Amino acid sequence: MGVASCVYDPRPMTCDPAEPVARALRAAIAAECGIDPANADPRVQPAANPAFGDLQANFAMALAKQCGRNPRDLAQAVIARLGDDLSDRCEPLQVAGPGFINITLRPAALGAALQAFDAPNLGIEPPADTHTCAVDLCGVNVAKQMHVGHLRATIIGDTIARTYERLGWRVFRQNHLGDWGLPIAMTLASLRRRGTDLATLTLDDLNAAYRSAQAEGRDDEAGLAAVHACGCGPHRLAELEAQHEGASAAIADAKSTLVRLQSGDASLVRDWERIIEVTMREVYAAADLLNVRLDPASEKGESSFRDELAPVVESFERAGLATIDQGALVVRYPERERPMLIRKSDGAFLYATTDLAALRHRIQGLGAERVIYCVDARQRDHFKDVFDAVRMIGWTRLTRRRDGHDVEVECQLVHVPFGTVLGADKKPLKTRSGENFTLKALLDEAIDRGVREVTARAADPASPTHGMSADELHAIGQAVGIAAVKYADLGGEVSRDYVFDLDRMVAFEGDTGPYLQYAHARIASMLAKAGDAAAWTDAPIDPAAPEEKALGFAILRYPAAVRSAADHCAPSTICAYLYALANAFNAFYQACPVLKCDDARVRASRLRLAHLTRRTLADGLSLLGISAPSRM
């Protein structure tokens, strides 16, 4: 299941050679058919077969039916209306088949578009007005190890955030920590009962304490009732009674601890802050390793909203959107039977209540026009309920300045549901002992594999990395291992499960992160061998050969790919674009001599084209949080 489009409002892309062609065709169609230009879409797209041209306009068949005309005749009439409007950009336009218009750009027009693209922004113009986005990512639970599921929530969210930042948006990363409530109080109480020295506490210690606290609080009331009913032996009865008493005592201790923590007990607050500090130390270490932009400013845990929960519930009551059901307070929806519980009968609040408060903060507090949640696909129903409730109460309405005027906009709420990481057995990835893979173990294994691969390749005297120090090879191997994991995760539709296969992921061939890194390194090496960059940096680009033109078009599609990735919250769009660009460069490199080209003008043009490819690859990889090494 895909993600609903956010419909990004694109700005004109002056470096796109198809844009002036489409604009001229639109005007000619409107004049010929006597219709509003807004309804005269020429449907210009890349040609399916380069033998027939670079672009194709496919408007004639659909429009001719509406106008009662022959499609070929309509296409010819539109071309006649153009006159000489496109003669400086295109070869004479040709009508083919039932009414397609084949368009071949003149090399000089494509070269001019590429030269316009060769600017610091690579064809991506910032929006005229300020736009703000909030991205919910990571979402760790305090006192627990990060597991493989946190990998997806973290890197998908970071890539989406980077993509919006690249488009000129102001982005707030929001790490919604599970740092409040009874589970945390249980862990605190357990640590205190054991007399644990929190000054030397590690996350492994904390994770063990969390599990121990859960076990200590586990009751078996049903089992105890069954023993009494069935008259089981005294040993079994004594065992269950002891378990019941111990669990009851642990739960009572945890509840007492929670009350004191909520009341601001100074000693407990210090211990609670220490638990968060120990947890987040590893989170930030993992984020740094993954090249994810995450810092304390991103932290916005459940505890941040604890004083807002009652007012949130009161807001729904005042709006007449919440009703009492068997003592609990629920929000009902007109189109489905499933209500959403926002306050239990004992007065306790729930995750949904916290998410409502968080959404209100992100929309009304941060001013986000889009709030994007990168959360497990199993939470679909939960977010549908929360989003609909926020829309019903009207918190999604904002006033924004657009083109010099104040306008009301509706905040778009998007859940990006991701699938599960699977092992070779097509089941959720586990260790051999059956435990969930910790994120650290996963990344350590990927880095080890990357270092082994890079070290083995460096043994070849012809390799660019031959003779590098062990530390240098380790740095490259780490970059390769991380790229392998991130690209494999981001490269497919995020809602789908995928199989974790390091052998495939670290390959330098095929659709992998290391392949793209290697493509970048090869171009960087070629440019270094070319010598003085001043000879080609500002050289005219003249893409005459078919492979040059194909590479030029591939480069110019970058802004559209970035916008599409933002529209659909789909990192895979960027991955697919970069893979296609690398393949287009390889085809160009095989067919068009660069360093060995005897014609100085052609050599300079091809070097600049190669340099532009390298810049685009590096920029695209940066959106994925993947490094672009110069040597591999």
Contact status, residue 594 vs residue 613, Cβ threshold 8 Å: no
Is the per-residue pLDDT at 6 higher than 70? Answer: no
296, 321, 345 — which closes off a domain?
296
Q: Which of 174, 168, 155, 164 is nearest to 567 (CA)?
A: 164
- Three-class SS of residue 396? coil
Query: What CATH number corresponds to the domain at position 58?
Result: 3.30.1360.70
Contact status, residue 166 vs residue 562, Cβ threshold 8 Å: yes
C-alpha dihedral, 221 to 226 to 228 to 230, nearest 10°: -170
In this structure, is residue 121 part of a structural domain?
A: no
Mean pLDDT across the chain, nearest whole number? 89
Phi, psi of 584 (to 5 degrees): -65, -40
In this structure, is residue 342 part of a structural domain?
A: yes
Query: What CATH number corresponds to the domain at position 471?
Result: 1.10.730.10
Q: Is the same domain home to 275 and 310?
A: no
- How do 132-136 and 170-174 pair as beta strands? parallel
Q: Confidence class of residue 259 from pLDDT cuts 50, 70 and 90?
A: confident
Is the per-residue pLDDT at 574 higher than 80? Answer: yes
Is the per-residue pLDDT at 450 higher than 90? Answer: yes
Q: Is the same domain home to 375 and 248?
A: no
Q: Is the same domain home to 307 and 390?
A: yes
Q: Is the same domain home to 378 and 449?
A: no
Please give the C-alpha separations between residue 492 and each of 147, 250, 500, 501, in angstroms, as whole numbers: 20, 45, 12, 14
Please give the C-alpha separations between residue 372 and each of 133, 152, 161, 328, in angstroms, as whole numbers: 8, 14, 9, 29
Contact status, residue 253 vs residue 245, Cβ threshold 8 Å: no
Place of tokens 């409502």: 356
Q: Is the same domain home to 411 and 471?
A: no
Q: Is the same domain home to 191 and 286?
A: yes
For residue 543 the two structure tokens come to 């893409």
Question: What pLDDT is attached to residue 182?
Answer: 85
258, 279, 296 — which closes off a domain?
296
Q: Is the same domain home to 391 and 463?
A: no
In this structure, is residue 600 part of a structural domain?
A: yes
Is the per-residue pLDDT at 500 higher than 70? Answer: yes
- The DSSP code for 530 is T
Contact status, residue 46 vs residue 55, Cβ threshold 8 Å: yes
What letter represents residue 478's amino acid? Q
Rounded to whole angstroms, the Cα distance separating 631 from 391 reads 51
Question: What pLDDT is attached to residue 10?
Answer: 35
State the average pLDDT over residues 315-323.
97
3-state secondary structure 279-334: HHHHHHHHHHHCCCCCCHHHECCHHHHCCCHHHHHHHHHHCCCEEEECCEEEEEEC
Is the per-residue pLDDT at 250 higher than 90? Answer: no
478: number of CA atoms within 13 Å, CB side?
A: 12
In this structure, is residue 629 part of a structural domain?
A: no
383, 418, 453 — which closes off a domain?
418
Contact status, residue 50 vs residue 550, Cβ threshold 8 Å: yes
Question: What pLDDT is attached to residue 435?
Answer: 66
Is the per-residue pLDDT at 8 higher than 50? Answer: no
Rounded to whole angstroms, the Cα distance separating 597 from 602 reads 7
pLDDT tens digit sequence for 576-616: 999 999 999 999 999 999 999 999 999 999 999 999 999 99
| 490 sits in which H/E element | helix 470-490
Is the per-residue pLDDT at 232 higher than 80? Answer: no
Interacting residues of 253 by C-beta distance below 8 A, sequence separation 6+? 189, 193
3-state secondary structure 116-168: HHCCCCCCCCCCCCCCEEEEECCCCECCCCCEHHHHHHHHHHHHHHHHHHHCC
In this structure, is residue 476 part of a structural domain?
A: yes
| Better-predicted residue by pLDDT, 425 or 476 | 476
State the average pLDDT over residues 297-326.
95
Q: Is the same domain home to 405 and 497?
A: no
Question: What pLDDT is attached to residue 253?
Answer: 87
Residue numbers of the domain that contains 329: 132-177+299-418
Question: What pLDDT is attached to residue 434?
Answer: 62
Contact status, residue 88 vs residue 110, Cβ threshold 8 Å: no
Q: Confidence class of residue 212 from pLDDT cuts 50, 70 and 90?
A: confident
pTM for this entry:
0.89
- What's the number of domains the chain is made of? 4
Q: Is the same domain home to 504 and 594?
A: yes
In this structure, is residue 109 part of a structural domain?
A: no
Contact status, residue 79 vs residue 102, Cβ threshold 8 Å: no
Instruction: Output 471-474 pairs: Cβ under 8 A, ≥24 positions apart.
Output: none
Contact status, residue 573 vs residue 564, Cβ threshold 8 Å: yes
Rounded to whole angstroms, the Cα distance separating 76 from 69 reads 12
State the average pLDDT over residues 229-234.
47
Q: Which of 154, 209, 215, 150 is nearest to 437 (CA)?
A: 150
Q: Confidence class of residue 431 from pLDDT cuts 50, 70 and 90?
A: low
Q: Which of 15, 194, 2, 193 is nearest to 558 (CA)?
A: 15
Contact status, residue 21 vs residue 103, Cβ threshold 8 Å: yes
Rounded to whole angstroms, the Cα distance separating 107 from 549 reads 8
Question: What pLDDT is attached to residue 14?
Answer: 53
Give the rounded percent of residues in the chain with a pLDDT score beyond 70: 92
Question: What pLDDT is attached to residue 230?
Answer: 52
Of the chain, the end-to-end C-alpha distance in Å amounts to 37
Contact status, residue 352 vs residue 134, Cβ threshold 8 Å: no
Question: What pLDDT is attached to residue 224?
Answer: 35
| Better-predicted residue by pLDDT, 477 or 149 | 477
Is the per-residue pLDDT at 560 higher than 90? Answer: yes
Instruction: Return the number of other C-beta atoms located less than 10 Å from residue 116's C-beta.
Output: 15
pLDDT tens digit sequence for 331-358: 999 999 999 999 999 888 999 999 999 9
Question: What pLDDT is attached to residue 433?
Answer: 59
Sign of CA dihedral 478, 479, 485, 488: negative
Which residues on neighbouring strands pair with residue 430, listed in sequence order?
A: 436
Rounded to whole angstroms, the Cα distance separating 149 from 559 reads 31
> How large is the greatest C-alpha to C-alpha distance in the chain, in angstroms?
101
- The DSSP code for 53 is -
Is the per-residue pLDDT at 288 higher than 90? Answer: yes
Q: Which of 411, 499, 496 is nearest to 156 (CA)?
A: 496
In this structure, is residue 291 part of a structural domain?
A: yes
Phi, psi of 485 (to 5 degrees): -65, -45
Which residues on neighbouring strands pair with residue 374, listed in sequence order?
A: 416
Q: Is the same domain home to 303 and 292?
A: no
Q: Write the Ramachandran bin of 327: left for phi over 0, alpha for psi from -120 to 50, otherwise beta.
A: left
In this structure, is residue 564 part of a structural domain?
A: yes
Query: H helices then E strands: how many in the chain?
Result: 21, 15
Is the per-residue pLDDT at 123 higher than 60? Answer: yes
Q: Is the same domain home to 92 and 143?
A: no
Question: What pLDDT is attached to residue 228?
Answer: 47
Question: What pLDDT is attached to residue 220?
Answer: 43
Q: Is the same domain home to 277 and 413?
A: no
Q: Angle formed by the axes of helices 309-318 and 351-360, to 10°?
A: 80
Place of tokens 């998908």: 156
Question: What pLDDT is attached to residue 235?
Answer: 44
pLDDT tens digit sequence for 350-402: 999 999 999 999 999 999 999 999 999 999 999 999 999 999 999 999 988 88
Rounded to whole angstroms, the Cα distance separating 571 from 161 reads 10
